[in-house]
């Protein structure tokens, strides 16, 4: 499932499923609880009930010496996340575990399905108040089930809950749906936790990933992430509101068929002056490798010799000023532009940004071009729907200071404002695609169509944090624009391929390596 759903969308789907008569809320809660227990046993098969000789448990799961039982402590909250917790408690108990349950909140005020499962648990064991969950409980490191808050968490944790969660630091903790101190819409910590003690070992969520699993502090706090199917597949949310996981679009379109080089597009990369050309050259290499038929670097006359010694398949021409560039753009075959990497921030460069935008051609604006846009509202106003902006967090804050402030403000009440919301608002204001970079890159078009390229979990590629890697990304997107990809698809596919190239190379990666991984990555993609 490539959809990523917010809390509100998840609730809408649940409501639609129940209204259809297909399933009750109680049944969904049962499926959720069963899914959590199955995920635990799949993750640690040695804990699953077995008819054979008792397998040796991992060291961190205490076996009660007398009874030989595994031990779990289930921390339940006042909503349906707590309800899932009561189901898990019952199922672990049925599997022969020793289970203790604590509740934050008033049992009389539990929502109906949670209350039903609370009552079922009471037939098997006790429920104590969260304030009675004292530290001796954690001796021997029982399995901790965090069912305090799920998608309903929207403000800082109550002290009682925060203290209990902090005290479980040495225990394996399984978060139901989302770790309780994390906003499922934003991935931001609702309450600070010292030195990562909030991190779960495993998070089991339902139906789809939520933005908070992928954005900001989410990945480092979820541990492993598992998505459990609870049978909501046929209930959809309105398409415009969708956020999807980024993917590579229409890879078939990158095949070269029988065309000649110019039928595969001509990308033009503008460069800075002497000793500043490396970034543009990296972008050019990326554009060429990803499939643009021809790529040209344009630099000031004084930098021609330097660039000529470094470029072969990439063509080179001098662009001393905006007037010269206007002349070059009379060649209608130039169909994608890239400006910003290593560009500089002077008058020549600002004028060039203006020419790029006035040409109406598909264009990637990165690095220094973003700073120039932030400085000049007149330039910003020239952005159009064939542009792609590729800011990292600092550049984003310069371009959209009010949006960045809103994004960084602590959440005190829901619904929270996420990196997805920020990218959408920025794209709408700019009137073009915005690719907001990070390990959790968010790509949005002005209509709010949005995807997340998450280089996290199995796709974590920390080696991408290397000088010049953003220049290559700008080149990838420019190359895809030259091949005729729509801006949103070019940005999304470029970001996805960028991560894949980093994964293919692995540790030790430098920016030059990225384009060189593309042939193998594209071949594998074609084969799949």
Ligand X SMILES: NC(=O)C1=CN([C@@H]2O[C@H](COP(=O)(O)OP(=O)(O)OC[C@H]3O[C@@H](n4cnc5c(N)ncnc54)[C@H](O)[C@@H]3O)[C@@H](O)[C@H]2O)[C@@H](O)CC1
Contact code string over 126-165 relative to K ion, x by CB under 5 A: --------------------x---x---------------
Which burial class, exposed, middle or buried, applies to 383 when counting CB atoms under 10 A from its CB (0-12, 13-18, 19+)? buried
Tokens of 404: 């960045």
Cα-trace Rg, the chain:
27
Q: Smaller CB distance to K ion: residue 78 or 298?
A: 78
Angle at which helix 112-122 crosses helix 80-94, to 10 degrees, equals 30
Read off φ and ψ for residue 317, nearest 5 degrees.
-150, 160
Q: How far is the CB of 70 from ligand X (least distance, A)?
A: 23
Read off φ and ψ for residue 435, nearest 5 degrees.
-110, 105
Beta bridge partners of 267: 295, 336
Q: Smaller CB distance to K ion: residue 11 or 392?
A: 11
CA pair distance 370, 372, nearest whole angstrom: 5
Q: How far is the CB of 200 from K ion (least distance, A)?
A: 8
Tokens of 473: 């990304």
Helix (H) / strand (E) element for 404: namely helix 401-408
Q: How far is the CB of 191 from K ion (least distance, A)?
A: 13
CA pair distance 480, 494, nearest whole angstrom: 7
By CB under 6 A, tell whether 153 contacts ligand X: yes
Is 153 part of any known ligand binding site?
yes
CB 9 within 8 A of CB 168: no
Residue 146 touches which of ligand X, K ion, none (CB < 5 to 8 A by kind)? K ion
Q: Smaller CB distance to ligand X: residue 13 or 399?
A: 13
By CB under 5 A, tell whether 368 contacts K ion: no
Tokens of 140: 């021997």
By CB under 6 A, tell whether 11 contacts ligand X: yes
Distance of CA 96 to the CA centre of its chain: 38
Closest to 488 in 3D by CA, of 419, 367, 387, 380: 387
User: Considering only residues 39, 92, 152, 501, which one is a binding residue for ligand X as defined by CB under 6 A?
Assistant: 152
Which residue is at the shortest CB distance from ligand X? 150
User: Considering only residues 176, 295, 334, 456, which one is a binding residue for K ion as defined by CB under 5 A?
Assistant: 176
**Sign, CA torsion 402/465/444/453:** negative
By CB under 6 A, tell whether 353 contacts ligand X: no
Q: Smaller CB distance to K ion: residue 105 or 470?
A: 105
User: Considering only residues 180, 203, 469, 517, which one is a binding residue for K ion as defined by CB under 5 A?
Assistant: 180
User: Considering only residues 4, 32, 214, 215, which one is a binding residue for ligand X as defined by CB under 6 A?
Assistant: 32
CA pair distance 107, 129, nearest whole angstrom: 10
Q: Which residues are annotated as a binding site?
A: 80-84, 146, 150-156, 177, 180, 279, 342, 392, 437-441, 470-471
Q: Which residues are annotated as a binding site for (6S)-NADPHX?
A: 80-84, 150-156, 177, 279, 342, 392, 471
Binding site for ligand X (CB under 6 A): 10-11, 14, 28-29, 32, 77-84, 111, 149-158, 176-177, 206, 230
Binding site for K ion (CB under 5 A): 146, 150, 175-176, 180
Q: Which residues are annotated as a binding site for K(+)?
A: 81, 146, 180
């Amino acid at each position: 499932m490539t959809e990523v759903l917010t809390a509100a969308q998840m609730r809408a789907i649940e409501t639609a499923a129940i209204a259809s008569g297909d399933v009750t809320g109680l049944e969904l809660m049962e499926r959720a609880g069963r899914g959590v227990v199955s995920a635990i046993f799949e993750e640690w098969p040695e804990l699953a009930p077995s008819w054979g000789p008792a397998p040796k448990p991992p060291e961190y799961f205490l076996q009660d010496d007398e009874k030989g039982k595994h031990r779990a402590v289930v921390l339940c909250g006042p909503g349906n996340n707590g309800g899932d917790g009561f189901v898990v408690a019952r199922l672990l108990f049925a599997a022969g575990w020793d289970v203790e349950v604590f509740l934050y909140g008033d049992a009389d005020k539990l929502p109906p399905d949670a209350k039903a499962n609370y009552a079922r648990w009471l037939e098997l064991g006790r429920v104590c108040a969260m304030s009675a969950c004292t530290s001796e409980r954690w001796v021997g490191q029982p399995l901790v089930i965090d069912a305090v808050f799920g998608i309903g968490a929207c403000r800082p944790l109550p002290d009682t809950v925060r203290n209990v969660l902090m005290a479980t630091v040495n225990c394996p903790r399984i978060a139901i749906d989302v770790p309780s101190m994390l906003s499922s819409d934003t991935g931001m910590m609702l309450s600070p936790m010292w030195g990562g003690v909030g991190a779960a070992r495993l998070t089991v969520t339902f139906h789809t990933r939520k933005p908070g699993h992928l954005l900001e502090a989410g990945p480092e706090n979820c541990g492993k992430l598992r998505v459990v199917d609870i049978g909501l597949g046929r209930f959809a949310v309105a398409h415009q509101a969708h956020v999807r996981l980024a993917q590579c679009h229409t890879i078939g379109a990158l095949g070269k068929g029988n065309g000649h080089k110019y039928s595969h597009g001509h990308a033009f990369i503008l460069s800075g002056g002497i000793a500043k050309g490396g970034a543009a050259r990296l972008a050019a290499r990326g554009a060429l490798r990803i499939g643009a038929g021809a790529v040209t670097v344009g630099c000031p006359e004084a930098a021609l010799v330097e660039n000529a010694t470094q470029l072969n398949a990439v063509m080179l021409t001098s662009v001393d000023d905006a007037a010269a560039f206007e002349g070059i753009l009379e060649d209608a075959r130039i169909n994608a532009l890239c400006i910003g990497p290593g560009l500089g921030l002077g008058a020549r460069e600002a004028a060039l940004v203006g020419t790029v935008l006035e040409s109406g051609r598909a264009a990637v604006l990165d690095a220094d071009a973003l700073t120039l846009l932030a400085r000049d509202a007149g330039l910003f106003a020239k952005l159009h729907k064939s542009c792609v902006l590729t800011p990292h967090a600092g550049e984003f804050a310069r371009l959209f200071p009010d949006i960045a402030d809103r994004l960084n403000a602590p959440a005190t009440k829901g619904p929270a404002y996420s990196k997805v919301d920020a990218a959408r608002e920025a794209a709408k204001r700019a009137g073009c695609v915005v690719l907001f970079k990070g390990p959790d890159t968010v790509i949005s078009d002005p209509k709010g169509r949005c995807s997340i390229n998450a280089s996290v979990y199995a796709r974590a590629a920390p080696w991408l944090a290397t000088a010049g890697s953003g220049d290559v990304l700008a080149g990838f997107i420019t190359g895809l624009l030259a091949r005729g990809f729509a801006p949103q698809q070019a940005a999304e596919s470029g970001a996805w391929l960028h991560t894949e190239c980093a994964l293919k190379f692995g540790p030790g990666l430098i920016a030059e390596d990225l384009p060189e991984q593309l042939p193998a990555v594209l071949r594998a993609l074609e084969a799949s």
